[in-house]
Structure 1
Amino acid sequence: MAVIGFGSTMIGIGVNSFIVPFHLINGGMFGISLVLNYLWGLKIGLLLILLNLPVYLLAFKSDPSYFYYGVIGAITSGFMIEILKPLNGIFHLPIISSVILGGIIIGLGIGVMLRNQISPGGMDLLALLLAKWSKINVGVIAFAMDTLLILSALVLLQEARLLYSLLIIAIVGLLVTFITSFTIVENECL
C-alpha cells in the first residue's frame, strides 16, 4: 500500500501543480480525463475512475492480480488528484519548467507503481497487459499510446501549447522505462 500511496501522491502533485495550470495533458486515462475536464469542466479524478472500468474488466478476465491492484491504484490516484486540487496555481513557473517538473514527478509516481505491477490508470494497466503478452517494455508501450492520445488532443482542442504535452509524455515514458527496466538483485550470503 505504501507504493500506491507514494505513486498516487506523486501523480496528484504533478498533475495539479504543473500540468493543469497550463491546461496541458498527460497521457493515458489521465490525459483523456484532462481533455474532458478542459472541454466540459468534469471532475478529473471521477473521470479517471469511470474511464478505467472497461480496461479493468479486461484485466479481471486476463489477470486478476493486475485487476485488484489496478483498481486500488486507479481509485487512489483519482482520489489524490481530487484532494490535491488546491496545489493548482501554487507554483508560478515558466511553462517549460512546469512541463519538466510535472513530467519527472508524474513519471516517478507511475514508474514506481508499474515497477510493482500496480497500475495507476487504465492505459497503464493495458500497457502492463500488453507488455506481459508481447515482452515489450511497459514504458515503450505506454509512450506509444500516450503519443497517439496527445496527437488526437491536438486535433480536437487545436491548442498549440499542447505540443508541450509531448515533452511531458516523453519524460514520463523515459522515467517509466528506466524504472521498470532494471531488476533488483538480492544479495546472497555465502
Structure 2
Amino acid sequence: MLKKLAVIGFGSTMISIGINMFILPFHLINGGIFGISLLLNYVWGFKVGLIFILLNIPIYLFAFKKDPIYFYNGIFGAVISGCLIEVLLPLSGLIHLPIISSVIIGAIVIGVGVGVMLRYHISPGGMDLLALLIAKWTKVNVGVIMVTLDAGIIFSGLFLLQDARLLYSLLIISIIGMLATFITSYHRIKRVN
C-alpha cells in the first residue's frame, strides 16, 4: 500500500508540474480527461482539477462494474492528480520558455508521471483507466491505445478553438504515449549471482 501511495504521489506531482508549468501557459492540451478539462478551462474558465475529477466519475463507475481493482487503484490516482493540479496552479507562468521547449519538457515530465503510474496499474484518471481496461481485454499496449484516444480529443480541440497552436498538442501526446509505452513495456533484468 505504501509503495502504491508513493507511486501515486510521484506520478500525480509530475503530471501536475508538467501541466501547470509547461502546458497551461500556452493554452495547449494533452490528451484524455486532462485534455478535455483543459479545453473546458480555456472555453468557459472551469477549474481544471475539479472538472477532471467530475468527468472521471462515469468512467470510474464503469470501471467499478468491470474491474474493481482498477477502480480502487485509479480513484486515488484521479483524486490526487486533480487536487495537485489545483494546488500547484501557482507554477503556471513561473518559467518562460519558447513554446517548443515547453511542449517537449512538459510532455516528458507528464509522460514519466503517467508511465510510472500505469506501470503499477494505477490510472492517473479517466481515459488512462479506460486505456488500461481496453489493453487488458485486447492485449494492445496501453500507450498505443492512449495515443489513439488522445488524438481524437486534440482534433476536437482544434475544431472547437480553431487555434493552430493546438497542433503542438499532437507532439505532447506522442511523447507522453512513447514514454508510457516504454515505461510500461520495460522489464527488469534479473541479476544472476
Q: Tell whether the structures are fold-level matches, with TM greater than 0.5.
A: yes
User: Per-residue CA shift, 1:65-108, capped at 9, x if unaligned?
Assistant: 10011000000000110010010000010000000000000000
Aligned partners of 1:187 and 1:118: how far apart in 2?
27
Find out whether 1:72 has 2:76 as its counterpart: yes
**Aligned residue among 31, 42, 45 for 2:46:** 42
Give the gaps of 5 or more residues in structure 2.
none
Aligned partners of 1:20 and 1:56: how far apart in 2?
26
**Aligned residue among 92, 98, 101 for 2:102:** 98
Aligned amino acid, residue 166 of structure 1: L
Q: Within 5 Å, give how 1:165-184 maps onto structure 2.
A: 165-184=169-188
**Aligned residue among 56, 62, 82 for 2:66:** 62
Q: Within 5 Å, give how 1:143-162 maps onto structure 2.
A: 143-162=147-166
Find out whether 1:14 has 2:18 as its counterpart: yes
Aligned partners of 1:37 and 1:136: how far apart in 2?
32
Moved >3 Å (runs of 4+):
185-189
1:83 is aligned to: 87
RMSD, aligned α-carbons:
0.9
Give the gaps of 5 or more residues in structure 1.
none
2:27 is aligned to: 23
Aligned partners of 1:147 and 1:137: how far apart in 2?
16
Find out whether 1:138 has 2:113 as its counterpart: no
Q: Give the C-alpha shift of residue 184 in structure 1.
A: 2.6
**Aligned residue among 116, 129, 140 for 2:133:** 129
Q: Give the C-alpha shift of residue 187 in structure 1.
A: 4.2
User: Per-residue CA shift, 1:118-164, capped at 9, x if unaligned?
Assistant: 00011000000000000000000000000111011100110000000
Q: Give the C-alpha shift of residue 113 in structure 1.
A: 0.2
Q: Give the C-alpha shift of residue 188 in structure 1.
A: 6.3
Q: Give the C-alpha shift of residue 186 in structure 1.
A: 4.2
2:124 is aligned to: 120
Q: Give the C-alpha shift of residue 179 in structure 1.
A: 0.3
Count of matched residue positions in the alignment of Structure 1 and Structure 2: 189
Q: Give the C-alpha shift of residue 183 in structure 1.
A: 2.2
Q: Give the C-alpha shift of residue 182 in structure 1.
A: 1.8
Aligned partners of 1:66 and 1:181: how far apart in 2?
19
Aligned amino acid, residue 108 of structure 1: V
Q: Give the C-alpha shift of residue 39 in structure 1.
A: 0.4
Aligned amino acid, residue 6 of structure 2: A
Aligned amino acid, residue 32 of structure 1: I
Aligned partners of 1:167 and 1:24: how far apart in 2?
11
Aligned partners of 2:192 and 2:164: how far apart in 1?
54
TM-score (norm 1): 0.97
Aligned amino acid, residue 29 of structure 2: I
